[in-house]
Amino acid sequence: MRDLAKQRILKVDLTSNSTSVEEVPHAELVEFLGGRGIAAKLLYELVNPGIDPLGPENALIFSPGTLSGTSAPSSGRTSVTCKGPATGLYLKVSGGGHLGPELKYAGYDYLVIQGAASRPVYLWIDDDQVSIRDAGHLWGKTIREADRLIKAEVGDQDIETALIGQAGESQVLFANIMLSVYNSASRGGVGAVMGSKGLKAIAVRGRGGLTVAHPETFYQSTVQLRKALAEDPSSQGLYQLGTVGGVLREQEEGALTSGNFSRMGLDGVERIDGQHLVDAGYLTGRESCFGCSTACHRFVRSFSSAYGDVQAVGPELETAMALGANCTIADTEVLIKANELCNDYGMDTISAGHVISWAMECYERGLLNQERCDGLELRFGNGAAQLELIRRIAFREGPLGDLLANGTKRAAEEVGGDSWKWAMQVKGLEQAVTDTRIAKGYALSFAINPRGPDHLMTELIAELGYSEQAREVVEKITGSKEYADPSMIEKRAELVRWHEDCYAATDALGFCAFTSTSAYAITPANMAELMGHALGFELSEEQLMMAGRRVVTLERCFNAREGARRKDDTLPWRALHEPVPSGAKKGMITDQASLDTMLDEYYSLHGWDPETAIPKRETLVALGLAELCSDMPVE
């Protein structure tokens, strides 16, 4: 049994074929909260500025949360951190499933992969026995095939795996890593980094356990929090319909974009909403990640003449919006199949959807002709073309597959003309589906996100004020529920900064965002209390949130060191320049002036230089980062 506070790092160098174990100093665990926090520190120290994200100098860090593996509800998530190949900047993604706790039971809180293997390998962590094994026979296999082969090879069906598919092997810049077969650690091309290291898989068996400092108080608190979470209306909605239950609401509120953000609304969109998956019998099971009773994940099955018997997971809301609505495809069978293909090949469905919807717009506007599309008629709404394109992208097959595998930013540079204007990306990452023209806080949070424009470093849903709990969170941060209004610019900086701090702490402890920033049953005060009971000392809510801010600031420093400045904190051209074209939200826009106002407030709140967006020296001193970040550029 291992004391949870004695954190251990397993370092694997694939170039020299060697492994080593280090301990995390206790003071660092308190300062950075572990998980994502310590991973950010490790990345800052291990990865020098300017290196190739797809070269052996990059580090790939798996870090379950500090509380992962305990009874703390919904705390089994794993952060994966590296320098991102899509953006050339800091990249943290988070995945669920059961891998992280298994790694902890094997005796490790961090797995740091460095170097690159000369031929395909996989890592087999069997408690304290760590081996680097040949993966020649696994290369070229899908996620599910490779998982089956590894389990057969080690003779244990209960092990956990982290895998890349063909997309990761061919270094698609939005390849992901699948944890426990079905849970994606997505965005920014983490799978490409794993592929560049020749690492097909990580397989883990852990037969140890964890102890905490104050067992009884810790356990009783977690039992209460699990019940509170089960009673939270957002959690109950997620159990019933999954995230994809939000599609129709977007449509009803006039906030659903289609046609690569060029149109609003989509006829028949109810066919890709969560309610339809239940009513029409697609849903076959609700699935949890480790320790989570929300069970928002779905198993689905579809039968059709076109695609036969498909047994798959999801789709999530973002998947339905990106691969469905944004490609103007409201077809249940196509969506389930497209999601299955992305999962099997190991690709981020958000970026896949956006790169395809971007290409469809290019085709319709005559910038990509049929010849350049290798014969595909790439019109909006063409589901068969979408499915074929997913496969070509995963294998980088043909000129179009290879072009789109690099993401919309690079593809637009190649295609030229005005195509960059409808590339819905910033920093090289395709944006998530929330329409930032309608929600000002989201606009700010997407712009400042160190990994690129999405919701998964903040999740600002509270500003929409959908529930009483959400309005109470807004009141706690700003002093008034009135600010739960996404059309307002006022107080957006405060809201964003609080959510950043909270999200960083949430990730560091291993909690899911669906506990603290889009359901609200687990507050920062709860997190601080649990962390205190686990580690054996008093930790205040303020200390926890300040540690979150330390992590957020360190991540900003990583990007500043790579040359990112204020100009990079922006939004896609279309989002800044084309008002919502129709429907209930017609005419709404978050323009550059509004964004600038919010950015000025945000930087000043953080103590970052508003000209450069680099953290000021005094800010670093106050956060205890001055020594670590002594290489901050001064301009």
- Rounded distance between C-alpha atoms, residue 62 and residue 193, angstroms: 13
The values of phi and psi at residue 15, to 5°, are -70, -50
Please report, for residues 26, 139, 414, 415, 540, the alpha-carbon distance to residue 410 in angstroms, rounded to integers and kept in the order given: 43, 27, 6, 9, 45
| Residue number with CB closer to another protein (98 or 372) | 98
Please report, for residues 109, 373, 533, 536, 572, the alpha-carbon distance to residue 214 in angstroms, rounded to integers and kept in the order given: 20, 62, 5, 6, 49
**Cross-sheet strand order for the sheet of 121-126:** 129-134, 121-126, 199-205, 160-163, 177-179, 183-185
Q: In whole angstroms, how close is the CB of 616 to another protein at the nearest point?
A: 42
Q: In whole angstroms, how close is the CB of 391 to another protein at the nearest point?
A: 22
Instruction: Name residue, tokens 């020296």.
Output: 617
| Residue number with CB closer to another protein (180 or 449) | 180
Q: In whole angstroms, how close is the CB of 236 to another protein at the nearest point?
A: 10
The values of phi and psi at residue 127, to 5°, are 50, -120
Q: In whole angstroms, how close is the CB of 157 to another protein at the nearest point?
A: 8
Of residues 335, 416, 341, 329, the one with CA closest to residue 372: 416
| Residue number with CB closer to another protein (290 or 380) | 290
Contact 444, 595 (CB under 8 A): yes
Q: In whole angstroms, how close is the CB of 504 to another protein at the nearest point?
A: 24
| Residue number with CB closer to another protein (96 or 450) | 96
Q: In whole angstroms, how close is the CB of 18 to another protein at the nearest point?
A: 28
| Residue number with CB closer to another protein (311 or 480) | 311
Which residues contribute to the site for another protein (CB under 8 A)? 1, 69-71, 73, 98, 105, 144, 147-148, 158, 180-182, 207-212, 215, 219, 223, 226-227, 230, 239, 284-293, 295, 299, 311, 313
Q: In whole angstroms, how close is the CB of 519 to another protein at the nearest point?
A: 14
| Residue number with CB closer to another protein (113 or 289) | 289
Instruction: Name residue, tokens 């896609």.
Output: 572
Q: In whole angstroms, how close is the CB of 152 to another protein at the nearest point?
A: 13
| Residue number with CB closer to another protein (293 or 369) | 293
| Residue number with CB closer to another protein (104 or 549) | 104
| Residue number with CB closer to another protein (3 or 45) | 3
Contacts of 468 (CB under 8 A, 6+ apart): none
Q: In whole angstroms, how close is the CB of 70 to another protein at the nearest point?
A: 5
- Rounded distance between C-alpha atoms, residue 134 and residue 139, angstroms: 10
Please report, for residues 65, 77, 514, the alpha-carbon distance to residue 511 in angstroms, rounded to integers and kept in the order given: 7, 6, 8
Of residues 303, 326, 242, 310, the one with CA closest to residue 276: 242
Q: What is the identity of the amino acid at 299?
A: F
